[in-house]
Structure 1
Amino acid sequence: MAPDVPLLPTQKQVLELLDGEFARAGYEIEDVVVNSSTRPPRITVIADSDDGLDLEAIAALSRIASPLLDALDSADTAPYVLEITSRGVDRPLTEEKHFRRARTRKVEVVLEDGSAVTGRIGHVGDGVLRLVIADRGKLTVRELKLSEIAKAVVQVEFSPPNQRELDLVEQSGKGGDA
């Protein structure tokens, strides 16, 4: 017979418990990872919103989540660390909302045909991404169907984008090719 092992809330329990409260606060739960193999065990809630997730939002969501999860605790519940975090810059963009939330960010896109393009995310909607790219030294807007994208990852930038690029990002949502 196996020794009694302290329990953790399941991913499903955490989602059911927190999803509505996070939504009321304006955030969406992207994922929940319950990891009992770390010491101490860890429950990671990955959240996002159209306005992103800053440290103040993380603190507010932690204040929402902690008492709700504490209410689940019983004598059999193992102590754990609760972590509220964002998707992170290294996570691939996989849904339209991810591209929309990364608007103005530089992204590397690999298309289904194997070709790659790097540009700045402009308007995203109706399954189409408008990407500001440098084509032979000239900035242009290229439309890509999200269904044609095999992989897309935000690029870390250490300097601000040039103003012309940002102007094209803004114009990309106005229906013309700027």
Structure 2
Amino acid sequence: MSTHRQDGTRDRIEAELVDPLRELDLDVEAVEVTPAGKRRVLRVAVDKDGGVTLDDVADATREVSRVLDESDVMGEMPYTLEVTSRGVDRPLTLPRHWRRNADRLVKVTLTDGTDLTGRVLSSTEESVTLDVSGARQEVAYADVAKALVQIEFNRKTEKKDD
């Protein structure tokens, strides 16, 4: 199967899923179709404000299965469906990604090659404000070449469990 055909299939699958999953308040973040022997693996990553729960993944899996059963987009070849959350390792590419990662530490590479690491303070549809070493810095999304959430272990927070 050519890459172009796989891309076309992936795009068709994504187009079929966007509206039904939006009804569940979920965004389609990624669709991947990977050959696996005589089968294919279809991975659909979803996200929403406040994060995705196991119940959300279960609901999304049922909805994706229903939509694909009613469509011919996957053709006759058998496939395995995996529905997951977006995952912390995916780049921040849309305003909603920044909004959903407020207060998280991110590493940003700007289009001029400069690297910044800072905490997301706020975001708009055009830019993000970061706390970089105690200084507020506004960065336009157009100036971002790549941005990834950084994993923090043992981060001290002000919230206390009662």
Asked if TM exceeds 0.5, the reply is: yes
Matched ranges for 1:20-59 at <5 A: 20-35=19-34, 37-39=35-37, 40-59=39-58
Deviations 1:41-100 (A, max 9, x none): 111112222222232211110011112222336xx6122111112222111111222111
Corresponding position of 2:80:
81
Counterpart check, 1:156 vs 2:144: no
For residues 152 and 12 of structure 1, the distance between their equivalents in structure 2, rounded to whole angstroms, comes to: 24
AA at the equivalent of 1:83: E
Give TM-score, length-normalised by structure 1: 0.74
Counterpart check, 1:98 vs 2:97: yes
Give TM-score, length-normalised by structure 2: 0.80
Corresponding position of 1:173:
none
How many percent of aligned residue pairs carry the same amino acid?
34
Q: CA deviation at 1:13?
A: 3.7
How many pairs were matched up?
Answer: 150
Give 1 or 2 for the bigger CA radius of gyration: 1
Q: CA deviation at 1:118?
A: 0.8
Equivalent of 1:140 in 131, 135, 144 = 135
Look up the SS of the partner of 2:62 in the other structure.
helix
Cα RMSD (Å) of the superposition? 2.3
AA at the equivalent of 2:83: I
For residues 116 and 46 of structure 1, the distance between their equivalents in structure 2, rounded to whole angstroms, comes to: 28
Counterpart check, 1:65 vs 2:64: yes
For residues 117 and 124 of structure 1, the distance between their equivalents in structure 2, rounded to whole angstroms, comes to: 16
For residues 16 and 111 of structure 2, the distance between their equivalents in structure 1, rounded to whole angstroms, comes to: 38
For residues 51 and 91 of structure 1, the distance between their equivalents in structure 2, rounded to whole angstroms, comes to: 17
